[in-house]
Amino acid sequence: MGTYTLLTLIGVVLVIAYELVVARTGIFRTGSYWIAMGIIGFFQILVDGWLTKLSSPIVNYDPDSFSGIRVFFDSPLEDFGFGFAMVTLTMVIWDQLGARFGDGSTVSASVVDAGETDDHELDAARGATDPSSGQST
């Protein structure tokens, strides 16, 4: 097993474990995550294919460093695992920071997407306080 293959597998497993065990943002259960991944994947196929096409490669891979499996216009399979891990980790951390710093991006997005909110529910989901009383709404 090549270095790129091994590191990609480790990265994918660690990111999935981080989300499921530590962060627990629930991102894998959201439609917006899978839509975003589909859009990113589509463009990754185009760009990665252009960069790695065997007929005229811009980027060359050491054959000993990856599995040798090429998909979608000659792209190494590992590129998609690496892309998955990188984008997923970024989105998970984004959600965590939004929840930690109180902008409510994670909570408000899920509440609004469900179409079950008014301004008071959204403020409560964000952990907002009523400025006049200083109490949580």
pLDDT on residue 131: 56
Low-confidence ranges of the chain (pLDDT < 70): 103-137
Q: Which residue has the tokens 């997005």?
A: 109
List beta partners, residue 129. Answer: 136
* CB 124, CB 137: distance < 8 Å: yes
pLDDT on residue 119: 53
List beta partners, residue 71. Answer: 75
* CB 83, CB 100: distance < 8 Å: no
| 56/90 Cα distance (integer angstroms) | 32
pLDDT on residue 112: 42
pTM of the predicted model, to two decimals? 0.70
Q: Which residue has the tokens 């998970």?
A: 92
Give residue-wise pLDDT tens across range 47-71: 999 999 999 999 999 999 999 999 9
Amino acid at 13: V
